Amino acid sequence: MNPSRKLAGKRAAVTGSGTGIGREIALELARQGVDVVLHYSHSGEGAGKAVEAIEALGHRAAAFPADFRKLDEVERFAGEALAFLGGIDCLVNNAGITMNLPFERVTAEQFDTLYQVNVRAPFFLTQRLARSMKERGGGAVCNLASIHGFEGMQEHSAYAGTKGAIIAWTRSLAIELAPAGIRVNAVAPGAVVVENYYKAIPGFDAGALGPNIPAGFAGEPLDIARVVAFLLSEEARYIIGQTLIVDGGTTSWMPFGDGFRQPLHNRFGRGYVPGI
């Protein structure tokens, strides 16, 4: 086998793959020989271009929309993915939304929205697609968590809770599915430069993140995509129930200071979380 095509012949579904990390994961899997179904929730332009790029590599690809706040649409996406590919070997639960807001101002609607998309949707999507994996004798699932599931930061109580839930769920689900030959792991990215930064932070400069990261620079989507591809491959066959932190050393750093007392000036969540 070509060493750069470690997943050749596999079929994967990647959620939240119209932009950013999810899109790069879908492309990296295709580079390694995978047929891919992409999911998007809003504009399909990015996912459509990714489909074209994957087809240019000689692999099957399709993109389907779904609002992951609604379980019927989660179920519909699962059915479309299975119908198009004829089965699923790998699932990447990447779709998620973020929001920063002081704890006292978080509404029940905002809280529910984050948990519906970040926790409930991947739970039931995995439940549905794991059946197909069992029928084929195994598979692999990779969930996208975050360093917010390990480290505290002001104004992220709701979002961090969802990512902590993903980490705990990954451990327990891995134990349940391992006997069926399905490996479950997660990746917890640190700062990775994606489109959302430019939308949420006026005048955003990716280079300005570097001095706050031990590596000296912020990550790129490909840094995460390569780790996800590894976890889905047979090279990671003895890794089960783990969350790999990919953050340039951020969570290894022990900062002292009163930065946690200062309000944040950026605002994530505009356009997809109610009231932001």
DSSP-assigned letters across all residues of 206-224 = GGGGGGGSTTSS-B-HHHH
Give the up-direction half-sphere exposure of residue 21: CA atoms within 13 A in the CB hemisphere: 30
Residue in 217, 197, 213 with CA at minimum distance from that of residue 255: 213
How many angstroms separate the CA atoms of 193 and 217, rounded?
10
User: Position 252: which residue type?
Assistant: S
Paired tokens of 44: 């399909």
Backbone angles phi, psi at 184, to 5 degrees: -125, 125
Q: Active site residue: 159, 198, 238, 272, which one? A: 159
CA separation for the pair 59, 51 (Å, rounded): 9
Extended strands (E) in the chain:
11-14, 35-40, 61-65, 90-93, 139-144, 182-189, 243-246
Is 159 among the catalytic positions?
Answer: yes
Cα distances from 121 to residues 8, 47, 90, 115, 127, in angstroms, run 28, 19, 17, 8, 10
Q: Phi and psi dihedrals of 154, rounded to 5?
A: -60, 145
- Adjacent-strand bridge partners of 91: 13, 141
- Please list the active-site residues: 159
